[in-house]
Amino acid sequence: MHFYRIALLGSPLEPLTYSHDAPLEKGDVVGATLSGRAMEGTVVEAVDRPAFETLGITAVASGCYAEHQMRTAAFMAEYYGCSLGEALNLFVPYASRNITENLSGEEPHCAVTITLSPKQEEALAFIRKHSVSLLFGDTGAGKSEIYMKRMDEVLALGKRCLLLLPEISLTPQMEKRFRNHFGESVVLWHSKMTPKQKKEALAKIDNGSARIVAGPRSALFLPIPDLGLIVVDEEHDESYKSSSRPRYNARDMAVYIAKELSIPVVLGSATPSLSSYAKFPAFRLRGGYFGSQRRFVFEPSIEALSPAIDAAVRENYRAGHQGIVFIPTRANFKYLVCGTCGYRVECPFCTVGMSLHKNARALKCHYCGYTEVIPSVCPKCQSGSLETSRLGTAEAVEHFEALEEGLRVAQFDRDKITTQNKLVKTLKAFNNREIDLLVGTQMLSKGHDYHDIALAVVMGIDNLLAQADYRARERALSLLIQIAGRSGRKGEATVYVQSLNEHFFRRYLDDYEVFLQEELRMREGRYPPTKKLARLLYADKNALKAKTQMEKALGVLEGIKTVEVIGHGASAIEKIGNKYRFQILLRSDKSTELIRALRYVKSPLCEIDMDPVEFT
């Protein structure tokens, strides 16, 4: 009989010991039971016969995890404070142990030849020289063409390439662009694919016909044995950071995996994150490929549809151009507030106001999904003077549809774009000029390239700037520049911004690098990238239990000299999904000191968030 430590996939438990009557290898995928429930796991190591009785392994699958996958998962477990089983559950195992290069002999079909400008050639030469490089290119400067040229070189060496995108919303256009050049050797991977589609994609990766693999962060964990290059597009985007355990950052893990495999990684963005700008060698690619000219107009106003915005939308439509309107809030309105007592109608399971959806005739919680009928009177004082607050995308769509006869308006947010098919359909309709005005949330900033957007309206940007977050300035400015970058691809464009902070935004609109340099000096010695942060989140249906666990950990942490407690208490949103939340925010010079300190306070109620990007 043989004995093995098995990491159960998705389980928060440490590896458990099981027995088997045949020898197994590290990384083998097996079946096992835990408390009578069938689970999958992987062999971590062989061990001596234990002093206790063990359960037997129930099955041995053909798949296995490669050594580099096991090492990466072990790093993630330590760094992000999760179990090995939770980390391994992110990875797709290889089909067999025969992990050898298996590229088909057929060269990729390149229907469209790419010709780079002298400046783009300089950028290409720069990224060739560095194992990790940041392509800091203005919107429309031709970053995608540089990616593809570099991929051509890697493919010529018999290797394959991985293109990471911040989320699915980028893939339709990027897929078309890459298929035009690389043909059918491009394979997509994302969470909206059906099991059959995923199986077909994995088969193409396994048989070597897939040369370019593209997708959001989950694509990073695919079994690509002959990977030769990783490109992380829009590397600044917070979609790369997982909001659930393990709370990893796919951009950072791409750099780690590239180092493990001794292959280069290219990070690209028009508004790179300050951490990447400070950490990696960067090439500044200035100017727009389309020679765009943008005029910024600031309206010193709070977030509201104004006569000036109406006039701009009407004039743009009558001139035969398309436009986009950014609003940070979904639904019709973000809040329903009593005009008599000031009560804000909140979710019974979360300490947040519920959003008003007219079409559904309901209030919805955007955190836990709870829905209820729109009340006719205030639940607190029974007054009938309920008022709406904070305009949402759905309300703006109704407003603009009534503004001008013939104006075709579409909503572009997570309420409407619920499937990949709807995304493709909406973007295609906009590209075919069947839509005149696209009204949406941050999805508008995600790199969609259309050439006749002559007007971009940005509302609510001050709400982002005012958040209690050390990255608020970076977030707000980056978002404004990204949205503005969707306009003016064909000629002149107007970017209409509602803000009481014109002085701040105007200062950096023409040179984001100046902002990065100043922000780096401002954060020195206080915040990342010169300091490391960790957030400990305690959650339980019993508020006292969660708070007690937090206070217990606090007592331990305050005695560790290498870490600093810079905040603790109830979370900004104290309750989500009927669980009360308390948090501790830690700071240190080194991540190793944080990891060491966190070992002393691990708890089933505690979720560790290393390098947090969300605080509110």
Write out the CATH class of domain 2-88: alpha beta
Q: Tell me the C-alpha distance between 398 and 514, whole Å.
A: 40
Where does the pLDDT of residue 174 fall: very low under 50, low under 70, confident under 90, or very high at 90 and above? confident
pLDDT of residue 105: 45
pTM above 0.85, yes or no: yes
Q: Tell me the C-alpha distance between 324 and 484, whole Å.
A: 10
- Quick check: 223 and 66 in contact, CB under 8 A? yes
- The CATH number assigned to the domain with range 118-285 reads 3.40.50.300
pLDDT of residue 602: 86
Task: Summarize pLDDT for 372-423 with one digit per residue, the tens.
Answer: 999 988 988 988 888 887 788 988 999 999 999 999 999 998 888 887 788 8
Homologous superfamily (CATH) of 293-330+392-523 is P-loop containing nucleotide triphosphate hydrolases (3.40.50.300)
Where does the pLDDT of residue 6 fall: very low under 50, low under 70, confident under 90, or very high at 90 and above? very high
Query: Is CATH 3.30.590.10 the classification given to domain 532-610?
Result: no
Percent residues over pLDDT 70 in the chain? 95
DSSP 298-331: EE---SS--HHHHHHHHHHHHTT-EEEEE-S--S
Where does the pLDDT of residue 104 fall: very low under 50, low under 70, confident under 90, or very high at 90 and above? very low
Q: Is the pLDDT of residue 106 over 90?
A: no
Q: Tell me the C-alpha distance between 39 and 58, whole Å.
A: 10
Q: Tell me the C-alpha distance between 242 and 89, whole Å.
A: 14
118-285 and 2-88 share a CATH fold: no
Average pLDDT over residues 547-557: 95
More confident residue, 172 or 604: 604
More confident residue, 519 or 416: 519
Range in 23-32, 96-105, 594-603 the model is least confident about: 96-105
Q: Is the pLDDT of residue 102 over 50?
A: no
Task: Summarize pLDDT for 51-83 with one digit per residue, the tens.
Answer: 999 999 999 998 999 999 999 999 999 999 999
Neighbour order of strands in the sheet with 606-610:
564-576, 579-588, 532-540, 606-610
More confident residue, 339 or 316: 316
The structural domains of the chain, with segments of one domain joined by +, span 2-88, 118-285, 293-330+392-523, 333-391, 532-610
pLDDT of residue 112: 67
Average pLDDT over the chain, rounded to an integer: 91
Task: Summarize pLDDT for 272-289 with one digit per residue, the tens.
Answer: 999 999 999 999 998 765
Average pLDDT over residues 251-265: 97
Average pLDDT over residues 139-159: 93
